Amino acid sequence: MARWCRTTLALLLALVGVAALGPSPAAVAAPAPPSVGLGTVIADLGVTSGSSGAAFSPGGAYYVYRVPMGERCELRLYDVGARRSVDMPHDQVGCYLGEVAWAAETATLTWLVEDADGTGTAYVWDPRAGAQVAVPDGVTGGLSLSADGRFLAFTGRASGAPGSGGGWRILDRSTGVSRTLTAPGVDVDFKEWSPTGHRFVADTSPVGSGSPNGTCFGETSCDVLSTYTYFGNQSGGGQWSPDGTAVLGFDQVAFDFSDRSFTPFPRGLGFSGDAVFLDEDRVAGSLDGDDFIWNRRSGEVVRLPSIGTPSPNGRYLLLGGATRESYRYRNVLTGATAPATYRGDTRDHDQLGYWTDDGAGFLGLGPGGCSSLRQWSPASNTVSLFVSPGPRTCFEVPYPRAADTWKSAFRTFSSRSGRFALIMKTSPGSLHRDFVVDLRRHVLLGPLDGEAQAFAPSGSDVLSVAEQPGGGTTRMFLVDPAPVPDVDDKPRWSAASPANGTRVQAAVGERVHVRVGASDLQGTPVNLYFRWRDSAGVPIKSAPKGWSCDRRRLAAGATVADCTFAPPHDHTATRYLDVWAVNHDTGAQSDTRAYRVAVGR
């Protein structure tokens, strides 16, 4: 057969084969990745029992949650860094809050699997050993791990021993030995562990009375008994020192575990339920309408008109000023107090702003409490303003709530790195929408398709988000809020720009020149904005007499303002100038720089 005949025949057979098979099926499009309106979803955890009881581990490496399975729930654990689920045996738990808890300092988790008789088995998991039986049977509840994960407090069947009416026991996980928490002639009711290590406080009461009239302090047993009452947050007293060595009591007293000493508050300094530790030594509290800072070691007392809102690291106090909208701030370490450039409605500090978790900034609403969102930095005493929320729309800020029953489920409104925080927008007749604030770039991200729950308390900037798809169910996501791509579009100040806090001074008849410039790494056009104010942050519409600026666009989008200050004989009073740069395309802002412009030498 000729070659051309063989070739033609092969082609015909191939075409017949294709016709017999029919047309190729259309390509199936890959499902779209899940989205919550911003950032990147790193985990779609599916339908869960809700945000109640779901929590990151203290280091942010793991996230625990529950999935409803009939009348019970399955315990689930997600490894945030590895982005995978962790196999959890013995995972049948109740769907209510108190059966699962993290240690306060370590990725150690405990949970209870109940039997038909209402008691159960306590389990403990950590990354090194996995899941292990902690207490094989007879546990009735109250699971609470010490901060370091070594000890487990729990309730069991009453042993009948004197003082064991509460049934509390403490297990040393390193030895496997548990001891009943007892004290002579009293019942002991465990309350809470210290935020570090393994110290605890417990209430004591006459046997069978249930009415606390004292306290026990210890590590594995009641080492110290006292008639002072109500120590620690869960007892309604005062809080712990950051290092966990001291705790405040309702009876105006501090107990120090290191030397087992009691230090009463100075006479008349008020009740410890209003007191908080600023650091290991300093305590802030209230006294008959006045506030104070008391050093429990040196005895020094500093009286203040108000302690205002302490930063999480205890370094700064943001205080109400002389007028309703003004503020002052105090450096706790140095004692220096100065007017803050932050302005807001001081009628309700707690609901009009909050500190970021790293203590580097305060995010709040300005005067009027609606359309003005601002970020204040105590280190530079400058304010960054955000864009208006839009017509008939208001900003709202979340505010710290009382400590949750599940203490390790940290409710935090900002990421530990200090880059991201939460804000809300509301409008008449509609529910609020959650947004994420990029504090580094001073812009809003979102809105979220769902409700923000909490940032990881440490580690990566991961946010848990809950959606309500309907039918009473909750779908949970873990989200990295960083924009994609995460371009460094924040304007940079030129080397010639004066540093923040620079004083610009000229005598009458003299002339001073100032050059301020900024640019963007990507060459995007950058615009400069000027705002005049007084020392308390009150806006002033006009520049001082003798001030003028010539703004010019340079290559690659950079902008420079050549300014001159030549005060005349009828010069105006000292004024302050806030300057910031904005990326024209993305809205990202530089940090604000503030200058003092005055007449003099």
189 and 134 in a common domain: yes
Strands 261-264 and 276-277: unpaired
282 and 219 in a common domain: no
pLDDT in tens, 417-468: 999 999 999 988 777 899 999 999 999 999 999 999 999 999 899 999 999 8
pLDDT in tens, 371-406: 789 999 999 999 999 988 888 899 988 765 433 322
For residue 270, is it within any domain?
yes
Read off the pLDDT of each residue in 355-368 and give the average, rounded to a whole number: 88
For residue 342, is it within any domain?
yes
Closest to 383 measured CA to CA, from 576, 552, 569, 120: 576
302 and 314 in a common domain: no
Chosen domain end from 207, 227, 247: 227
Q: Which backbone phi and psi does 276 adopt, to 5 degrees? A: -140, 145
Q: Which residue has the tokens 């009027």?
A: 368
In this predicted structure, the answer to whether residue 31 has a pLDDT above a threshold of 80 is: no
Q: How many domains does the chain have?
A: 5
DSSP 3-state assignment of 291? Answer: strand
Read off the pLDDT of each residue in 113-127 and give the average, rounded to a whole number: 91
Structure-token pair, residue 40:
């990147």
**CA distance linking residue 325 with residue 211, whole number of Å:** 46
**CA distance linking residue 226 with residue 256, whole number of Å:** 13
Residue 212 · residue 205 · CB < 8 Å: yes
Q: What CATH number does residue 507 fall under?
A: 2.60.40.10
For residue 24, is it within any domain?
no
**CA distance linking residue 597 with residue 601, whole number of Å:** 12
Q: For residue 54, give its domain range.
A: 45-95+452-478
In this predicted structure, the answer to whether residue 163 has a pLDDT above a threshold of 80 is: no
582 and 534 in a common domain: yes
Range picked from 86-100, 529-543, 557-571 for highest mean pLDDT: 557-571
For residue 8, is it within any domain?
no
Closest to 582 measured CA to CA, from 515, 524, 532: 524
pLDDT in tens, 306-347: 778 888 889 999 988 888 788 999 999 999 999 999 998 655
437 and 458 in a common domain: no
In degrees, rounded to 5, the angle at the alpha carbon of residue 163 between the alpha carbons of residues 160 and 169 is 80
| Average pLDDT across the chain, whole number | 87
Chosen domain end from 174, 197, 227: 227
Chosen domain end from 392, 424, 447: 447
212 and 90 in a common domain: no
In this predicted structure, the answer to whether residue 20 has a pLDDT above a threshold of 50 is: no
Q: What is the CA radius of gyration of the chain?
A: 31
496 and 434 in a common domain: no
Residues in the chain: 601
Cα dihedral 537, 538, 543, 546 in deg (nearest 10) = -80
For residue 303, is it within any domain?
yes
Closest to 593 measured CA to CA, from 518, 505, 523, 513: 518
195 and 129 in a common domain: yes
**CA distance linking residue 442 with residue 375, whole number of Å:** 8
436 and 338 in a common domain: yes
**Range list of H helices, 433-526:** none
Return the pLDDT at 535. Answer: 87
430 and 332 in a common domain: yes
Residue 455 · residue 462 · CB < 8 Å: yes
For residue 22, is it within any domain?
no
What DSSP character marks residue 114?
Answer: E
320 and 294 in a common domain: no
271 backbone φψ class: left, alpha, beta (φ>0; ψ -120 to 50): beta
Contacts of residue 393, defined as CB under 8 A and 6 or more positions apart, other chains included, come to 371, 425, 426, 427
pLDDT level of residue 6 (50, 70, 90 thresholds):
very low
For residue 336, is it within any domain?
yes
For residue 30, is it within any domain?
no
Task: Point out the least confidently predicted range of 15-19, 125-129, 371-375, 530-534.
Answer: 15-19
587 and 505 in a common domain: yes
What DSSP character marks residue 557?
Answer: G
